[in-house]
Amino acid sequence: MVLNKKGSRRITVDGIEYRWRIRRRPSYMQGLCWTPMTYAVEAASGSQPGTPLIVTSGQAHPSNWVGVETEPIRPAHVAASIREARDQGWDPTRVGSPFQLDRSAGFIAQP
């Protein structure tokens, strides 16, 4: 999987450059606030795509359809997620299935 460069943001964590992106439109489940927002991260350098990181945040998508207010995902949150995933064994340079990181503790689905 390769992140679309359009709409992605760059971040440098511990000297390594990454790109991250939040899906512009929520999925059906995210739009109804039944599941939390996710975002993807990948290494920005290298000619071969590596293993992407999929982070499940603990908040609703900002474009949800039910009007639930949400906090924006800040670069500090992304950096902390990258460090946590690296500690759990994520290697962004190795090819493989997406690495899932669940940071959704405390998310309450809306009825």
In the chain, domain spans = 9-102
Question: Under a CB-based contact definition with an 8 Å cutoff, are residues 53 and 30 in contact?
Answer: no
Residue 47: which pLDDT band, with cuts at 50, 70 and 90?
Answer: low
Residue with more model confidence, 67 or 5: 67
What is the rounded average pLDDT for all residues in the chain?
Answer: 90
Question: Under a CB-based contact definition with an 8 Å cutoff, are residues 33 and 68 in contact?
Answer: yes
Please report the pLDDT score of residue 5 as a whole number. 73
The yes-or-no verdict on residue 39 having pLDDT over 80 is yes
Question: Can you read off the two tokens belonging to residue 67?
Answer: 């009007």
Closest of 39, 17, 47 to residue 100, by C-alpha: 39
Mean pLDDT value of segment 48-70: 91
Please report the pLDDT score of residue 20 as a whole number. 95
Exposure of 57 in the CB half-sphere (CA atoms within 13 A):
25
Question: Can you read off the two tokens belonging to residue 83?
Answer: 């460090």
Global model pTM greater than 0.85: yes
Please report the pLDDT score of residue 106 as a whole number. 80
Residue 60: which pLDDT band, with cuts at 50, 70 and 90?
Answer: very high
Question: Can you read off the two tokens belonging to residue 55?
Answer: 């982070």
